[in-house]
């Protein structure tokens, strides 16, 4: 018994000395008790937990005054529970993991600069577009990131969504890093890197894939009415008037141009709106069918959001006609493809790759343009969030005047 007690005592003393020695080396860098505790746990392990407080207090009397003055008070240290110290450490681990994921993400993004040349091969570029078009539940940029990290992926979801199908990521699953709304990044997993959760009903792979196909399929081949309504509303918020009286042969879609002589209606709120001169005009072939007109709108908005034409002319990108048309048509192809809409772009795009390579283009700008158009289809934007409003002093003054007029008090009969 005595031998066992002596052995345990030596072990405890050994750990305490280890904490003291390590703590003495790091105290000048981490004089705060929280950072000191986390550093000890990270370096030595949880076996150091019972000795951290006593080591910190012992070190206080061994270091120069200019270091001890920056250390937390003995009362603070004494009142800190071991549970709190462990909680600090777990938070540190989570933050460290997140930073590592962000680094991996940044490395992937930086790599895009070098992959553009690789995707200039017509076959590779088309495969990338097909992948992004098929993975319509992912944002365009995320779909491309998945394609870069795992070409040929079938179904990619985050852990929470996989749980809805009674599946979870495997222990050594490949993490696919993607962008997250209102946050830096998230991890997603391909079906092959997930496994059935024991104790739950197992759902067959075919049924999971079939379920997703049904959710995402648009069988009409035409744009949905609610999305069209949102788009037409947002065109006013962007300062774009639409010329629907334009007539041409059926094969001609339309065009976008700077145009300040038109009139557009914009909305400040549900009850406040105004009218002013337009910034652009999109002419749509009135002879074309609904799907072709939608495709034309996407193509012309592709020109706008790829900055071939823009509100601030100094920000316009000076490309060849071939480069501009290829980028805009790629934008239109992706938007239509991801919505199951009849898409005439493929044959059109093939005319730009007669030598086996596509024109030099910006994949980054194309995908950002697709994301913006998809947002216009699903959300009604606020006038102050519009690029038309930004730095447009006359429009800003008009909006302020309308807001001010609507805030004036009214008398009993509603008169100002």
What is the tens place of the pLDDT at every residue in 79-138? 999 999 999 999 988 887 766 655 555 554 444 444 444 555 567 777 777 777 777 777
Which tokens go with 31? 């004089």
Query: Bridge-partner residues for 156, per DSSP?
Result: 190
List the one residue out of 24, 15, 26 whose CA is nearest residue 57.
24
List phi, psi (to 5°) of 301.
-65, -30
Tell me the three state secondary structure of residue 277: strand
User: Do residues 245 and 285 touch, judged by C-beta distance below 8 A?
Assistant: no
Distance CA 352, CA 38 (A): 58
The CA-CA-CA angle for residues 313, 286, 258, to 5°, reads 10
List phi, psi (to 5°) of 375.
-65, -40
List the one residue out of 324, 326, 328 whose CA is nearest residue 373.
328
Distance CA 238, CA 381 (A): 9
Distance CA 386, CA 234 (A): 9
User: Do residues 305 and 253 touch, judged by C-beta distance below 8 A?
Assistant: no
Q: What is the pLDDT of residue 231?
A: 95
Distance CA 362, CA 120 (A): 11
Distance CA 74, CA 353 (A): 73
Distance CA 194, CA 110 (A): 28
Q: What is the pLDDT of residue 110?
A: 43
Q: Which helix (H) or strand (E) element contains residue 301? A: helix 290-305
List the one residue out of 34, 30, 29 whose CA is nearest residue 53.
34
Distance CA 119, CA 391 (A): 36
Torsional class of 171: left (φ above 0), alpha (ψ -120 to 50), beta (otherwise):
alpha
Which tokens go with 253? 């879609």
Q: What is the pLDDT of residue 347?
A: 58
Cα 274 to the center of its chain, rounded Å: 32
Mean pLDDT of each 10-residue bin along the chain, 416 residues long: 68 89 86 93 90 93 86 94 93 78 52 46 72 77 79 84 90 82 74 91 85 57 87 96 67 74 92 93 82 88 94 88 84 87 64 65 86 94 94 94 79 51
Q: What is the pLDDT of residue 379?
A: 94
List the one residue out of 14, 2, 79, 88 whose CA is nearest residue 47.
14
List the one residue out of 389, 353, 337, 400 whose CA is nearest residue 135.
337
User: Do residues 278 and 241 touch, judged by C-beta distance below 8 A?
Assistant: yes
Query: Bridge-partner residues for 188, per DSSP?
Result: 158, 176
Q: What is the pLDDT of residue 251?
A: 43
Q: What is the pLDDT of residue 113?
A: 40
Distance CA 366, CA 112 (A): 13
């Amino acid at each position: 018994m005595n031998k066992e007690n002596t052995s345990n005592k030596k072990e405890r003393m050994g750990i305490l000395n280890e904490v003291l020695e390590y703590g003495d080396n790091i105290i000048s860098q981490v004089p705060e008790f929280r950072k000191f505790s986390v550093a000890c746990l990270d370096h030595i392990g949880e076996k150091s937990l019972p000795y951290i407080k006593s080591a910190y207090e012992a070190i206080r009397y061994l270091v120069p005054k200019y270091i001890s003055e920056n250390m937390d008070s003995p009362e603070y240290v004494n009142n800190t529970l071991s549970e709190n110290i462990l909680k600090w450490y777990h938070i540190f681990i989570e933050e460290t993991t997140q930073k590592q994921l962000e680094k991996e993400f940044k490395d992937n993004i930086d790599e895009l600069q070098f992959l553009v040349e690789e995707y200039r091969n017509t076959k590779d570029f088309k495969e990338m577009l097909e992948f992004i078009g098929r993975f319509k539940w992912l944002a365009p940029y995320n779909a491309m990131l998945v394609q870069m990290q795992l070409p040929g992926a079938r179904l990619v979801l985050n852990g929470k969504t996989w749980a809805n199908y009674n599946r979870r990521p495997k222990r050594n699953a490949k993490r696919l890093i993607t962008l997250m709304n209102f946050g830096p990044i998230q991890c997603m997993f391909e079906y092959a890197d997930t496994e059935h959760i024991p104790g739950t009903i197992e759902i067959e792979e075919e049924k999971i894939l079939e379920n997703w196909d049904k959710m995402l399929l648009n069988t009409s081949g035409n744009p949905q009415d609610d999305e069209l309504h949102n788009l037409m509303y947002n065109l006013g918020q962007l300062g774009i008037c639409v010329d629907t009286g334009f007539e041409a042969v059926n094969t001609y879609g339309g065009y976008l141009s700077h145009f300040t002589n038109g009139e557009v209606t914009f909305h400040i709120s549900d009850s406040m709106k105004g009218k002013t001169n337009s910034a652009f005009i999109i002419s749509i072939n009135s002879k074309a069918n609904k799907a072709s007109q939608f495709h034309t709108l996407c193509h012309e908005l592709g020109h706008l959001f790829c900055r071939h034409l823009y509100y601030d002319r100094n920000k316009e990108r000076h490309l060849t006609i071939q480069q501009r048309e290829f980028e805009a048509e790629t934008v239109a192809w992706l938007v239509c493809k991801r919505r199951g809409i009849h898409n005439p772009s493929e044959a059109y795009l093939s005319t730009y790759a007669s030598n086996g390579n596509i024109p030099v283009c910006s994949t980054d700008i194309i995908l950002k343009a697709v994301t913006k158009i998809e947002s216009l289809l699903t959300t009604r934007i606020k006038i102050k969030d519009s690029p038309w409003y930004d730095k447009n002093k006359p429009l800003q003054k008009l909006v302020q005047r309308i807001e001010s007029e609507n805030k004036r008090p009214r008398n009993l009969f509603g008169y100002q």
